[in-house]
Amino acid sequence: MTDVLASEQQPDDLPRLQKALAHAGVASRSACKTLITSGRETVNGEVVFELGSRIDPSVDDVRVDGVIVQLDTAKRYFVLNKPRGVVSTMSDEQGRPDLSTYVDRVGERLYNVGRLDTDTSGLLILTNDGDLANTLAHPRYGIQKTYVAKVRGAVTPAVIQRLRDGVELSDGPINVDAARILPDGSSRTHSLIEVTLHSGRNRIVRRMLAEVGHPVDELVRRQFGPLSLGAQRLGEMRELSAAERGALLNAAADGESHAGNAGSTVTAGRPGDGKGAKGMRGVAARGNPHRR
């Protein structure tokens, strides 16, 4: 097999592959050895079976079961379940609650990936990886987001179809990627619906639903790309697992290569769990986010 490592000499100061995987949180050192010898790991697109192979974490692309491994452990990624009333900035001239309340607990500078409206709650990614933050937030990469909205009135299948077909707004036409009515939470006066779209336009979900005659009373973002809130409590911030980091990096890479959006939702587990990001353990997004 040809040498796939970035450094042909493999100097002794470079880490061994199994040690780098274990340090990145993939699995224990012994389990990482098994991943390598069983052919479930690649370096720069090629399977490496040899234990003791050295890699350069700064340039080599390492994956387990197709999931990118973030070898730079200085880069950190968090998911915040942002409450309503918190502005998506690190400081606010008007003195409103902001993200610094949560970031200060980490003790280092973090960037928020995009924004959520002050009156919208839900999943917000915070990271010190500025390049990834810019990639995920850029509209051209089309990362999908899923929202649950409590809207006024009884939403009908015809309304759902109209959202799928597209509506005309002041800044141009727009359609959702998917939409459905959620019976749990709907009443005579309100409906609960789930919408998925990849647009990053300002207040786009609220404007679309108002256009079809169902103004939003409450809005929660449940998913961003491969990440889901799951059972995460309102106001809770947690660091991503190795599996979630890999799935997020895969989503960014897919976006950059115009290969589409990320696959299945990931909320827990490790790349070595058996089937990569699409088969990892995790709790799927579920429940009524408005039920306090």
Beta-carbon count within 10 A of 36 CB: 23
> Any idea which residues carry the catalytic annotation?
117
Which superfamily is assigned to 17-64 in CATH?
Answer: RNA-binding S4 domain (3.10.290.10)
Please give the full DSSP string across 228-271, using - where no structure is assigned: E-TTPPTT-EEEPPHHHHHHHHHHHHHHHTT-----S-B-S--G
pLDDT in tens, 41-74: 999 999 999 998 999 998 999 999 999 999 998 9
pLDDT in tens, 158-192: 999 999 999 999 999 999 999 999 988 888 899 99
What is the spatial order of strands in the sheet that 62-64 belongs to? 46-47, 41-43, 62-64, 67-68
Residue type, 257: S
What pTM was computed for the model?
0.80
- The domain over range 144-224 is classified in CATH as 3.30.70.1560: yes
Structure tokens at 196: 């998925």
Same fold, 77-139+226-279 and 144-224: yes
| E strand or H helix that includes residue 10 | none
Beta-carbon count within 10 A of 188 CB: 7
- The domain over range 77-139+226-279 is classified in CATH as 3.30.70.580: yes
Domain boundaries, the chain: 17-64, 77-139+226-279, 144-224
Average pLDDT over residues 222-240: 95
pLDDT in tens, 124-164: 999 999 989 888 888 777 789 999 999 999 999 999 999 99
